[in-house]
């Protein structure tokens, strides 16, 4: 928040330069000056009599850069970050006598004075402006009658040239009126088009400053500032409000990273918007680079192989005539995938095969664990559990089975998935390209199950007795031989109504729970078939505890039991399924040294 009472009062800023300063017009401008760059938004700059104040954490803390000889403070002292390179920062109050302008090439850490131009009668500036594509170009704006209004440098201030036509004091001869100039905007899509905001409106050049004319489509009102955003120029006036000029081309002037993701082929996919005709674009991934030459403006999808995995930083760097323009840095995750599988099962005893964002491995039932969201889950967020094993869709069995409990806000009566009134939901989804995710089946919430709904309405926690088996078909939205990544997602809206959350267990992809690994000769079930009570004999190479879990063929958990510490050597344990109906069951043994899965038949 900028005010005209010498203070800056951001609500989250505890250490602004004014904190330990006696505030008056002798040490801060009467209209506060704050500037930053879209390419490096956390860096904020302000000015005062001490020099240039700089914050690198969006106002969390500030340091002052003491200026060299020539620093002169006034109400019009300005600071501006280059639109083409956020490391270049301009500051100063004028160009006369011992007073000069200053430029930094290290993001405001140090500043150097630039020489005043010879032959011009100058004084205090009204503003500094910069170029969207040329880092070394800047403009000093003046408001003295019959004298130069716009001085331009293309070499970081070593030389300056008047482009308003007033020269060293002769009346303007190229159409620029003899009025005060408050701001200047160079179009990134066509740098020959420059708008100067003056006390009588906008003065325009279409040829880089060789000729000027008042823009008749805009009212005759003082223009204090102009900013480009998307396909608009936002214009701040004196007393006539905020205006926007709609254009056909993007005004950001920076190749932005719009989207990213890991494809099932283990490629890092990056979607880049290229708004201008750049010579080349580089994508920086941590300290590595990938380059391409865009044939035209537009949106491009880059496939980057052998990119670093895990947490990465992404930035696009666009080049025009050798000059770089930097996008903001994007924090991303590039998954480290395993080999393709056509069949997969996971009893969720650990989370090694998943990338979790908001999910975690938590106890669920007796001696059992599952993937669970936070309890209660947060408002207005999405949480993800992404399987790091690519799946090739089978031509035959393409089932997708898991057990879950979803105590998630239900929708309004009559609402369906996809409508805002459906409220919070959980969903299993998959992607073929790492960028676009499609449902394996429609999302659902507590309204999908009467017991879930009762638990939600009574504000109770989920438990294993509420477990339901979900069975979907991958070929509802995918085709045979598609290679996909799958994930689980809980998404909540912003209405501040949440519930316990989601638990996911016993995942089977393109196989039934009876398709398990062969049993070692060191492990035996007897009798098998059994009438309900059976023994498991096994050999322990070392002292260990034992956990036994049993599921039916649909993946529904039947039993979980744990033993005390057992000595190494031959051991056995007994399992009682007399209360379970006849059929085939899956039995899992887990010790400190092995994990085995077996089958048993209950027959009466």
The set of residues, in sequence order, having a beta carbon less than 8 Å from that of 532 and lying 6+ positions away, is: 576, 577, 578, 579, 580, 602, 604
Alpha carbons 589 and 546: distance in angstroms, whole number:
7
Q: Between these two residues, 465 and 510, which has the higher pLDDT value?
A: 510
The set of residues, in sequence order, having a beta carbon less than 8 Å from that of 295 and lying 6+ positions away, is: none
Rg (CA), the chain: 33
Strand-pairing partners, residue 46, are: 34, 53
pLDDT confidence of residue 518: 47
Structure tokens at 210: 């060789």
- Asked if residue 519 has pLDDT above 60, the reply is no
pLDDT confidence of residue 33: 85
Proportion of the chain above pLDDT 70, given as a percent: 93
- Across 37-41, 50-54, 295-299, least confident range: 37-41
Give the pTM: 0.67
Alpha carbons 568 and 583: distance in angstroms, whole number:
33
Pair type for strands 194-198 and 201-205: antiparallel
pLDDT confidence of residue 386: 98
> Does residue 172 contact residue 178 with C-beta atoms inside 8 Å?
yes
* C-alpha distances out from residue 3 to 6, 28, 37, Å: 7, 12, 20
- Across 3-17, 258-272, 381-395, least confident range: 3-17
Q: Between these two residues, 563 and 521, which has the higher pLDDT value?
A: 563
- Split at pLDDT 50, 70, 90, the class of 18 is low
Q: Between these two residues, 75 and 90, which has the higher pLDDT value?
A: 90
Alpha carbons 345 and 509: distance in angstroms, whole number:
6
Q: Which domains does the chain have, with CATH numbers?
A: 1-173 (2.130.10.10), 177-252 (no CATH), 256-334 (2.60.40.2140), 344-509 (2.60.120.260), 524-602 (2.60.40.2550)
pLDDT digits (tens, 9 = 90+) for 236-254: 999 999 999 998 877 777 7
pLDDT confidence of residue 30: 72
The closest alpha carbon to 273, from 250, 303, 307, 290, belongs to 250
Q: Between these two residues, 367 and 408, which has the higher pLDDT value?
A: 408
Q: Between these two residues, 521 and 232, which has the higher pLDDT value?
A: 232
pLDDT confidence of residue 2: 42
Give the CA count within 13 Å in the CB-facing half-sphere of 35. 26
pLDDT confidence of residue 8: 46
- Across 291-295, 519-523, 547-551, least confident range: 519-523
The set of residues, in sequence order, having a beta carbon less than 8 Å from that of 117 and lying 6+ positions away, is: 95, 151, 159, 160
Proportion of the chain above pLDDT 90, given as a percent: 66
> Does residue 462 contact residue 501 with C-beta atoms inside 8 Å?
yes
Beta-carbon count within 10 A of 576 CB: 12
Q: Between these two residues, 41 and 348, which has the higher pLDDT value?
A: 348
The closest alpha carbon to 328, from 251, 247, 252, 228, belongs to 252
Structure tokens at 530: 């059994």
pLDDT confidence of residue 441: 96
- Split at pLDDT 50, 70, 90, the class of 17 is low
- Chain-centre distance for alpha carbon 554: 39
- Asked if residue 393 has pLDDT above 70, the reply is yes
Overall average pLDDT of the 94-116 stretch: 96
Q: What is the largest distance, in Å, between two alpha-carbon atoms of the chain?
A: 111
The closest alpha carbon to 486, from 504, 463, 498, belongs to 504
Q: Between these two residues, 4 and 546, which has the higher pLDDT value?
A: 546
pLDDT confidence of residue 169: 61
- Asked if residue 284 has pLDDT above 70, the reply is yes
């Amino acid at each position: 928040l900028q005010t005209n009472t010498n203070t800056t009062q951001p609500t989250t800023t505890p250490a602004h330069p004014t904190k330990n300063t006696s505030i008056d017009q002798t040490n801060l401008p009467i209209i506060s000056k704050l500037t930053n760059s879209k390419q490096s938004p956390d860096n904020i700059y302000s000015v005062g009599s001490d020099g240039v104040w700089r914050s690198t954490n969006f106002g969390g803390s500030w340091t002052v850069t003491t200026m060299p000889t020539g620093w002169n403070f006034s109400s019009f002292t300005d600071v501006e970050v280059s639109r083409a390179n956020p490391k270049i920062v301009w500051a100063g109050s004028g160009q006369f006598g011992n007073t000069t302008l200053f430029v930094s090439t290290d993001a405001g850490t140090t500043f150097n004075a630039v020489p005043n131009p010879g032959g011009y009668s100058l004084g205090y500036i009204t503003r500094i402006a910069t170029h969207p594509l040329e880092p070394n170009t800047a403009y000093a704006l003046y408001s003295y009658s019959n004298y130069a209004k716009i001085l331009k440098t293309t070499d970081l201030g070593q030389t300056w040239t008047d482009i308003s036509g007033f020269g060293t004091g002769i009346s303007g001869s190229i159409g620029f009126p003899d009025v005060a100039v408050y701001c200047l905007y160079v179009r990134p899509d066509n740098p020959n088009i420059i708008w100067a905001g003056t006390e009588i409106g906008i003065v325009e050049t279409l040829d880089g400053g060789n000729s000027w004319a008042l823009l008749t489509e805009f009212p005759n009102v003082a223009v204090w500032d102009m900013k480009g955003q998307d396909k608009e120029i936002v214009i701040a006036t004196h007393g006539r409000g905020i205006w926007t000029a709609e254009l056909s081309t993007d005004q950001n002037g920076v190749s932005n990273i719009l989207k990213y993701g890991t494809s099932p082929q283990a490629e890092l996919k990056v979607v880049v918007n290229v708004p201008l005709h750049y010579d080349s674009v580089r994508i920086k991934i941590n300290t590595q680079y990938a380059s391409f030459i865009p044939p035209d403006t537009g949106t491009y999808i880059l496939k980057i192989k052998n990119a670093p995995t895990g947490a990465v930083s992404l930035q696009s760097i666009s080049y025009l005539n050798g000059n770089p323009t930097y996008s903001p840095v994007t924090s991303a995750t590039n998954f480290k995938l395993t080999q393709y599988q056509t069949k997969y099962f996971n009893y969720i005893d650990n989370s090694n095969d998943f990338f979790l964002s908001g999910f975690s491995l938590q106890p669920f039932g007796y001696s059992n664990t599952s993937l669970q969201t936070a309890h209660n889950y947060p408002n207005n967020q999405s949480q993800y559990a992404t399987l790091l094993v690519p799946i090739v869709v089978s031509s035959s069995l393409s089932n997708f089975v898991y057990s879950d409990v979803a105590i998630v806000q239900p929708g309004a009566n009559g609402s369906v998935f996809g409508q805002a009134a459906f409220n919070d939901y959980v969903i299993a989804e998959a992607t073929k390209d790492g960028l676009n995710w499609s449902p394996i089946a429609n999302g659902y919430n507590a309204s999908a199950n009467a017991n879930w709904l009762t638990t939600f309405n009574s504000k109770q926690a989920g438990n294993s007795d509420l477990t339901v088996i979900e069975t979907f078909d991958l070929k509802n939205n995918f085709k045979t031989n598609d290679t996909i990544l799958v994930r689980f997602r809980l998404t909540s809206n912003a209405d501040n109504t949440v519930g316990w959350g989601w638990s996911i267990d016993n995942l089977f992809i393109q196989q039934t729970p009876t398709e398990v690994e062969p049993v070692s000769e060191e492990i035996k079930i007897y009798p098998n078939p059994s009438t309900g009570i059976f023994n498991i004999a096994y050999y322990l190479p070392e002292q260990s505890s034992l956990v036994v879990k049993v599921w039916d063929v649909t993946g529904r958990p039947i039993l979980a039991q744990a033993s005390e510490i057992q000595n190494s050597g031959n051991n056995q344990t007994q399992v009682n399924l007399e209360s379970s109906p006849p059929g085939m069951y899956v039995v899992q043994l887990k010790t400190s040294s092995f994990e085995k899965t077996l089958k048993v038949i209950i027959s009466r």
